[in-house]
Copies of this chain bind each other. A is one copy, B any other.
Amino acid sequence: MSTPEVAARELTYGEAVREAIAEEMRRDPRVFLIGEDVAEAGHPFKVLTGLVQEFGTKRIIDTPISEPGYAGIGVGAAMTGMRPIVDVMFGDFITLAMDQIVNQAAKVHYMSGGKLKVPIVFRTTLGATRRSAAQHSQSLHAWVSHIPGLKVALPSGPYEAKGLMKTAIRDDSPVVIFEDKMMYRTKGPVPAEDYTIPFGVAEVKRAGTDITIVATSSMVGVALGAAKLLEEIGIGAEVIDPRTTYPLDKQAMIDSAKKTSRALVVDEGYERYGVTAEIASAIAEGAFYHLDAPVKRIGAMDVPVPFSPVLEDLTVPSERTVFETAKALCRKA
């Protein structure tokens, strides 16, 4: 269940996603995928290349540019015995399908007194610095994390991309999975054999005793980079990846913070009312009597993502900012 120690085989993040979907589609004939340019085109990010050749256009379904419509179609199919993966090309476009995701998919099971199920996966992206500007760069996972009835997964690398996708597909509840679009070509060890990653179990990516850095998705790599810099100045950072924002493994993060006495939370969503707020306040509450300094948060800058590279790069948390903030935190108290 944790990252394998011997790297038998390396895949890119994109390949890991594709392998997870392909394996689950082979295993379970109820699984299908629906979205824009997913079939012959294999998705604009090329993540799905080859799937239509294996599974045909009946199970890899190209749609018109109708996010609300095909999201709703996914919900209906999920309620009646299928297990759809609904592909929303950019995370920014979930804005168009929020009624179907939030008022329908998330609530049907509860509203029906538990009789109807909606085993659906919404797969979409997050992450800036692709020079795509304000409507193609958002990380909106805080929204769906807020909604009872949804589960939310944020794979931080190829291993997680495969394992969390498989868990998502097998889950009987709606899951929204955000892939970091800047990481599709990142390589990492991915077992060829079947495995899943349990939801709600954080992983310690790096052990340390001086400060806890909780980081999600794209920010795990940033945090690990910062941890290296911190090590050079004698600060041992423990880096924790919650892997799912709901269910959220609060205890793991609280326990770590109790041990280190300091905590920093890093996430690529807008900082204000973002995922960092929930995690930071959970740690601040749960580890209150053990903290030597306030819990700090770093999210994306609270601005629409600018196009100009010189500005865009300023908006996302960097190794440098994480390093500086952690260093300052460790000086305190």
- Residues of A that sit less than 8 Å from B by CB: 68, 92-93, 95-96, 98-99, 102-103, 106-107, 110-111, 133-135, 142-143, 145-149, 245-246, 248, 269-270, 272-278, 280-281, 284-286, 288, 291, 293-297, 302-304, 306
A111 touches B95 (CB 8 A): no
Chain B residues contacting A106 (CB-CB under 8 Å) are 304
**A20 CB to closest chain B CB, in angstroms?**
26
Rounded to whole angstroms, the CA-CA distance of A306 and B109 in the bound complex is 12
A273 touches B294 (CB 8 A): no
Chain B residues contacting A297 (CB-CB under 8 Å) are 281, 285
Rounded to whole angstroms, the CA-CA distance of A137 and B106 in the bound complex is 14
Assuming the contacts A98-B98, A273-B278, asked whether A296 and B304 have C-beta atoms less than 8 A apart, the reply is no
Chain B residues contacting A304 (CB-CB under 8 Å) are 106-107, 110-111, 148-149
Subset of 9 A-B contacts with CB under 8 Å: A96-B99, A98-B98, A142-B273, A143-B143, A146-B269, A149-B304, A277-B277, A280-B284, A285-B296
Chain B residues contacting A291 (CB-CB under 8 Å) are 288
Chain B residues contacting A273 (CB-CB under 8 Å) are 142, 145-146, 245-246, 275, 277-278
A135 touches B285 (CB 8 A): no
A110-B303, A277-B278, A284-B295 given; 15 more Cβ-contact pairs under 8 Å? A92-B103, A95-B99, A103-B134, A107-B135, A110-B306, A143-B146, A146-B269, A146-B273, A148-B270, A148-B304, A273-B277, A281-B295, A281-B297, A284-B285, A284-B294
Chain B residues contacting A102 (CB-CB under 8 Å) are 95
The count of identical subunits is: 2
A246 touches B272 (CB 8 A): yes
A294 touches B285 (CB 8 A): yes
- Pick from A146, A284, A285, A306 the residue with the most CB of B within 10 Å: A146
Chain B residues contacting A110 (CB-CB under 8 Å) are 134, 303-304, 306
B277 touches A147 (CB 8 A): no
Residue of B nearest to A306 (CB): B110
Assuming the contacts A110-B134, A110-B304, A304-B106, asked whether A278 and B272 have C-beta atoms less than 8 A apart, the reply is yes
Rounded to whole angstroms, the CA-CA distance of A246 and B303 in the bound complex is 13
Rounded to whole angstroms, the CA-CA distance of A134 and B246 in the bound complex is 20
A98 touches which of B96, B111, B277 (Cβ 8 Å): B96
Rounded to whole angstroms, the CA-CA distance of A148 and B288 in the bound complex is 30
Chain B residues contacting A303 (CB-CB under 8 Å) are 110, 148
